[in-house]
Structure 1
Amino acid sequence: MKRLLVVTLVALTGCGGLVDEADDFRNASPSRQGIDIKVPSSGQALESSEVGQTQQALQGDRANTYTITRGATVVVNTGTAAWLKICEAIVSYPPTTLGETEAVWGPWTDALSPNTYKFTVTKVATGYDYVLQGKDKTRDDSAYLKLISGHHEPGAAAHQGNGTFKMDWDAAQQLPEHAADTIGTAEFAYSRNDQLDVTVDVQFRQVNDNDHPGQRVDADYAFEQANGGDGAFEFKVTNAQSQRWTIKSRWHRDGSGRADVNAYNSPSDTTPMGTINECWGATFLSTYYKESWAGGQTWGEEPSCAFATAEYSTL
């Protein structure tokens, strides 16, 4: 579905003279809000399967909690990238119709596809509402399904503003052509202030659990990044032993950072069975590590950490 839509999006184009007038509408697209989650990188690729692993590293090795944090951002970014690329590909062309309060790209149907799509952006009092819709091409317009819907409030200057949007992969399952393993929903809330500091909150609900085929899973993420400065990322994971881990990682611009972990015996527990604290330097090598339970592994000195005190996730 995604491949066919991106490959032939030129069919969505209308009159070329409308490009400039449509900029306010196209800039509301979720693909233009810079919501990708970025953690300092060592240049080594990480696989999403690393998320939720809790094996111990050694002092001087690459910090395991950094690896898990970096891997979690891969899961979030790759899980939504294809849909955001669709939106960006669409709005890169002139709209099919353009009025004072609405721009519409489509409807469009590839010659060999059973699906029809359209993308609509509507100006409202507080900003812009938008929706990417799809339907069986043989049905009338009442059959359109909302695949992505959201709202964007522009800031005073470019790249500022806030908004929310929802991706509904369950709705896409009702289309004649769809990705069978892409299920559930994702809800985003984002903000970028006049200093271009950014926050992004993401809630995945009942998405495909790659580690347990045939099962669904929920996941929450919270990201904040000062423009050119410190960043933080919080998330919840459940490992193969059904233990829940809430992790908050913080880092400086040079890459040095700290992660503080609460470990729970089960997803429903509210009192942690213990904590893990780890710090790393600018090259992501572990400099401090402590497990709170009896016999837990410990090394390094906490005062030398990039962040000297623990700060746990509130997710």
Structure 2
Amino acid sequence: MRNCWLLLLGCLAAACGGNFSNDDLEFLNALPTREDLASELPGANGTVSEGGLRQRSAALAVGEPSELYRDTRAASDAFNGGMDGLLTLLEKIRELPPTTRGPELRVWGPWPDPNHPGHEVRFGMKREPERFTYVLQYRREGAGEDAWWSALEGAFQPDGGLRKGTGAVRILVKETKAHGFDAGGLANLDLLEIVYQTRALPITVQMRFVPASPQTASELLYGYRELPGGLGEMGFLLEDTDILPGTRKEDLAIISRWTKDRGGVGIVSVTGGDVPAGFTATQVECWDASFRVTYLKRSWETAVVGSASACPDVSALEQP
């Protein structure tokens, strides 16, 4: 899908320029921005090995690189990567005046789709009494209005203030593949769904990856929250996955909270499967501004590494 969007951006960049009306801007403000949705975990992006607890060291010491920060970095990169193509597309849409304007309608295109000869593409928005809706659509050139099909659909309900409100975006990967389009890095999915709210602090974003083959892959849920001053939280849930040695599958949940420049705190929880009934295997790990361990406590061990007093204060994010 990202490959498809990148070529579409070339099509948009070649479109004619012009001026925006105040009404145009009202439509454009209903589209989410990178600032609204992207995770802002401190630290550079990097390649992180997967595997949850099975890949964790048997022992960690104060001052060693934090494995839980590593996992949080991987989750943050996957979270941002999942929506990067979408946000890049919307950024380009904001640079272009609509091709068609109506009292409650804006349309960009249709234009020939450079990635799929014989097809054309358009982006449309409608203003309804309580919300805006939008779609990215394709059809074969020369086909009628009923031939348009949607690769993306979204909605935004304003709630006082610029870009304040609640929204949702669904990237319809299954439909895109069914029409013979290349879904790129999303090819193993049927659906990528993003739900967010910007009307009140903390800003929250949830992302759901629905696999194309549920028999071999599990649905993955991400959640992100953000407060002013660099406080952030990333959580993800992976159900029915093989984490611990044994024949049964467990549920893995990780919640990490961080500060702008004083490190973070992460909690890993594993339940079900080969974990004894009624027991939750947990690991609490803190890291400093250099992403190195300052504290580590595992529920299945009596030893504690470091001191809990070295953990940063992330209590502002502990409320639901």
TM-score (norm 1): 0.83
Residues 55-70 of structure 1: pairs in structure 2 closer than 5 A: 55-56=56-57, 57-70=60-73
State the 1:98 CA deviation.
0.8
Between stretches 24-33 and 224-233, larger displacement belongs to: 24-33
Match of 1:292 among 294, 299, 304: 299
- 1:27–1:272 CA distance, 2 compared to 1 (3 A): farther
CA-based RMSD: 3.2
Alignment partner, residue 253 of structure 1: 260
Alignment of 1:192 with 2:192, yes or no, is no
Residue number among 87, 101, 106 corresponding to 1:103 in the alignment: 106
Distance 1:268 1:79 in 2: 31
Task: Give the C-alpha shift of residue 84 in structure 1.
Answer: 2.3
Task: Report the Cα distance in structure 2 between the residues aligned to 1:233 and 1:166, rounded to whole angstroms.
Answer: 21
Q: Does the alignment pair 1:91 with 2:91?
A: no
Structure 1: unaligned runs, 5 residues or longer: none
Q: Of 158, 172, 197, which residue of structure 1 is paired with 2:176?
A: 172
Change (3 A) 1:162 1:255: farther
Which residue among 12, 21, 24 is the counterpart of 1:22?
24
Q: Deviations over 1:114-170 (max 9, x none)?
A: 432111111111131111112333543323222221211234332422211211111
For the 8 Å contact 2:275–2:281, the answer to whether it is kept is no
Partner amino acid for 2:41?
V
CA distance in 2, matches of 1:145, 1:270: 48
Tell me by how many angstroms 1:288 deviates. Answer: 0.9
Is the 1:48–1:75 contact (alpha carbons within 8 Å) kept by the matching residues of 2? Answer: no
Structure 2 alignment gaps of length 5 or more = none
Q: Secondary structure, in 3 states, of the residue corresponding to 1:16?
A: coil
1:205 aligns with 2:210: yes
1:283 equivalent in alignment to 2:290: yes
| Correspondences of 1:238-249 after superposition (within 5 Å) | 238=241, 242-249=249-256
Amino acid across the alignment from 2:267 = D
Q: Partner residue of 1:38?
A: 40
Structure 1 position 278, deviation (Å): 0.7
How far did residue 308 of structure 1 move? 8.9
Distance 1:81 1:268, change over 3 A: farther
Deviation at 1:220, TM superposition (A): 0.7
Q: Using the TM superposition, give the Cα deviation of residue 36 of structure 1 relative to its aligned residue in structure 2, in angstroms.
A: 0.7
- In structure 2, relative to structure 1, the CA distance for the partners of 1:229 and 1:177 (3 Å cut) is closer
% same residue: 26
* Alignment: residue pair count: 304
CA gap of 1:192–1:257, structure 2 versus 1, over 3 A, is: same
Find the aligned partners of 2:117 and 2:277 in 1 and give their Cα distance.
49
